[in-house]
Amino acid sequence: MKTRYPGDVDCTCYRLRQAARLVSRTYDSFLAPCGISIGQFGMLATLAAMNGESISKLADALQIERTTLSRNLLRSLEKQLGRLEAKMLNQTLDDTLKRLPNV
């Protein structure tokens, strides 16, 4: 007799999607210290592997709409630039504080 869990739908597609979400969450937890998700990692890895191909070809390889890819890349870039700006600001603040005379 098969054990059924509350909310379990006896559907292979449904269970496959559940498993995929579980795998994605697992990878996301390992990539969290890097500040990226598994989706972003896949996008960046594909971008690196395609070495200068057009955004349309990259979108085709990732099986997503070109506009979605553009938006996702822009968000990732903005996030990374924000981190860089914060790091630069912290460095500038640290340098300034080091130059202040001790009172």
CB-based burial label for 69 (10 Å; 0-12, 13-18, 19+):
buried
70 band by pLDDT with thresholds 50, 70 and 90: confident
Output the pLDDT for position 103: 45
Which residue segments constitute the domains of the chain, with CATH numbers given? 12-78 (1.10.10.10)
For residues 44 and 58, the answer to whether their CB atoms sit within 8 Å is no
Is the pLDDT score of 81 beyond 70?
Answer: no
Average pLDDT along the chain: 80
Output the pLDDT for position 72: 82
Element (H, E) at 87: helix 66-99
Percentage of residues in the chain with pLDDT exceeding 70?
A: 72
Nearest-angstrom CA–CA distance, 61 and 52: 13
